[in-house]
Amino acid sequence: MRISVKAPAKINLTLDVLAKRPDGYHEVEMVMTTVDLADRVDLTLRGDGEITLDCSASFVPDDIRNHAYKAAVLLKERYQVREGVHLYIDKQIPVAAGLAGGSSDAAATLRGLNQLWNLGLSLDELAAVGAQIGSDVPFCVYGGTALAKGRGEQITHLNTPAPCWVILAKPPIGVSTADVYGNLRVQEIDNHPLTGQMLRAISEQDFPMMCQALGNVLENVTLSLHPQVRQIKELMMASGADGVLMSGSGPTVFALVQKEAKVHRIYNALRGFVKDVFVARMLGAQEGEMLA
Ligand SMILES: C[C@](O)(CO)[C@H](O)COP(=O)(O)OP(=O)(O)OC[C@H]1O[C@@H](n2ccc(N)nc2=O)[C@H](O)[C@@H]1O
Ligand SMILES: Nc1ncnc2c1ncn2[C@@H]1O[C@H](COP(=O)(O)OP(=O)(O)OP(=O)(O)O)[C@@H](O)[C@H]1O
C-alpha cells in the first residue's frame, strides 16, 4: 500500500521573541501560514518493520538526522507499531531556507503514517509527537494559518488571510536557525512586530493592514550576517511589492502582492539576481491535503 502526502512550506507573517528561556529556547509569538510551494512525501508500507528513506535531493540526510525519518521512528516506538515504512521525499522547498521544509516533511510523515498504520490519532496527538522533533513541526501538522506561542508548539488557529500572491526568493546561502537565535540580544530588540494588528488584519481579511503589520525580530540578525538578504528586500520593494519580509530565520525573503501584473514584474526583477524564485498562493485549508 502506498500513499502520497503534500508537505507545504510555511512563511512567518510575524515573528516576535519575548524572552530567552532557561532551556535554551526562546519564548516566541508568531503568525504563520502555509503556501502552495510543497514537497511530496510518498509512504510505502513495509511488512518487515524497517524504516527507510530516499530523497530527490542527494545532500539531504537519509537517516535519523532527517526529520521525516525521525517522525516515523518516534511514532512507531510510541504506538508500538509492528509494520515499517519506506519514505520518499520529492524535495521542492529549498533547504535551510526559513521555510520549515524539514518540519513539514516530518508533519506530512506523521499524517501519512496515521493513515498507513491505521492509528486513528487526532491532529493534536500527532502534533504532540511532532513537538519532540522541532518547534515548527506542530504548526506544520495542522497547516493553514495560526498564532504560535511557547517555543512554537502552542497553536491557535486563525482565519484564512486576504487572498494574495506570495513571491519567495532565496539567496544561495544556508542559514542555521540556532546561530540566528544565538546572535539575538533579546533585551536590545527595538522592532517588535504588531502581532495584535496582524491578528486583526487576518480576521478582517484586510490586505493593506496585513502588509503594514509584517515584522520579524530575527531579520536584523540575519541581515547583519548576510547583506544579500537586504538587497533582495530592497529589490522587491523597488519592484512594487505591497509588503516584504524575511521568513523565519531566513534567508528566504517573501513579497506579498494582490495585483497579478505585479507578480511578473517582481519575479522578473528577482530572476536576474537569484536562481531560487517561486510564486505561490497562501493555502486556506487547515489540514494538509492527502494526494491519494
Ligand atoms: C525560526 C522558526 O522557524 C520560525 O518559525 C522557528 O522558531 C524555529 O523552528 P525550528 O527550526 O523547528 O527549531 P528547532 O529545530 O526546534 O530549534 C533549532 C534551534 O533554534 C533555536 N530556537 C528554536 C525555537 C525557539 N523557540 N527558540 C530557539 O532558541 C534553538 O537554538 C534550537 O536549538
Ligand atoms: N526532510 C528534510 N528536508 C530538508 N532538510 C532536512 C530534512 N530533515 C533534516 N534536514 C536537515 O535540517 C536542516 C534544516 O533544513 P530545513 O529545510 O528544515 O530548514 P528551515 O527551512 O530553515 O527550517 P525552519 O524554518 O523550521 O527553521 C538542514 O540542514 C538539513 O540537513
Tell me what ipTM this predicted complex has.
0.97
Burial of 22 (0-12, 13-18, 19+ CB in 10 A): exposed
Cell digits of residue 28 = 516566541
Annotated binding-site residue? 95: yes
Output the DSSP codes for 19-62. EE-TTS-EEEEEEEEEEEEEEEEEEEEETT--EEEEESSTTS--
Can you tell me the mean pLDDT for 241-246?
A: 98
What CATH number does domain 2-157 carry, 1.10.1060.10, 3.40.50.2000, 3.40.50.2300, 3.30.230.10?
A: 3.30.230.10
Partner residues linked to 8 by β-bridges: 38
Can you tell me the mean pLDDT for 12-25?
A: 97
Backbone CA torsion sign across 50, 54, 58, 64: negative
Domain spanning 165-281: CATH superfamily: GHMP kinase, C-terminal domain (3.30.70.890)
Q: Give the separation between CA 106 and CA 7, rounded to whole angstroms.
A: 8
Active site residue 262: no
140-197 pLDDT, tens digit each: 999 999 999 999 999 999 999 999 999 999 999 988 999 999 999 999 999 999 999 9
The answer to whether the beta carbons of residues 173 and 227 sit under 8 Å apart is no
Specify the pLDDT at position 272. 85
Specify the pLDDT at position 284. 65
Q: Which atom of ligand 2 is nearest to the CA of 99?
A: 21
Question: For all residues of the chain together, what is the average pLDDT?
Answer: 95
Q: Which of these is catalytic: 16, 39, 136, 242?
A: 136
Annotated binding-site residue? 280: no
The answer to whether the beta carbons of residues 245 and 15 sit under 8 Å apart is no
107 lines ligand 1 (CB under 6 A): no
- Ligand nearest to the backbone CA of 136: 1
Can you tell me the mean pLDDT for 234-251?
A: 97
**3 state DSSP class of 144:** coil
Q: Would you place residue 288 in the very low, low, confident or very high pLDDT band (cuts 50, 70, 90)?
A: very low
Annotated binding-site residue? 98: yes
Cell digits of residue 244 = 516584504
Specify the pLDDT at position 174. 84
Can you tell me the mean pLDDT for 266-285?
A: 90
What separation in Å is there between the alpha carbon of 86 and the centre of ligand 2?
Answer: 20
The answer to whether the beta carbons of residues 222 and 175 sit under 8 Å apart is yes
* Contacts for 193-200: CB closer than 8 Å, 24+ residues apart: 193/14, 193/15, 193/16, 193/217, 194/14, 195/14, 195/16, 195/29, 195/31, 195/147, 198/13, 198/14, 198/31, 199/31, 199/147, 199/158
81 lines ligand 2 (CB under 6 A): no
Q: Which residues contact 122 (CB under 8 A, 6 or more apart)?
A: none
Residue 65 in this model has a pLDDT that exceeds 70: yes
The answer to whether the beta carbons of residues 61 and 70 sit under 8 Å apart is no
96 lines ligand 2 (CB under 6 A): yes
Specify the pLDDT at position 286. 58
**3 state DSSP class of 126:** helix
The CATH 3.30.230.10 portion of the chain extends over: 2-157
The whole model's pTM is what?
A: 0.96
Q: Which atom of ligand 1 is nearest to the CA of 177?
A: 20
Partner residues linked to 162 by β-bridges: none
Which residue's CA is minimally distant from atom 3 of ligand 1? Answer: 248
Specify the pLDDT at position 291. 40
What separation in Å is there between the alpha carbon of 91 and the centre of ligand 1?
Answer: 21
Q: Would you place residue 292 in the very low, low, confident or very high pLDDT band (cuts 50, 70, 90)?
A: very low
Active site residue 6: no
The CA distances from residue 103 to 59, 110, 121, 142, 244, in Å, are 17, 11, 19, 12, 23
Residue 290 in this model has a pLDDT that exceeds 50: no
**3 state DSSP class of 193:** coil
The CATH 3.30.70.890 portion of the chain extends over: 165-281
Q: Give the separation between CA 68 and CA 288, rounded to whole angstroms.
A: 15
| % the chain with pLDDT above 70 | 97
Nearest in space to 198 (alpha carbons), one of 35, 31, 34: 31
Q: Would you place residue 223 in the very low, low, confident or very high pLDDT band (cuts 50, 70, 90)?
A: very high
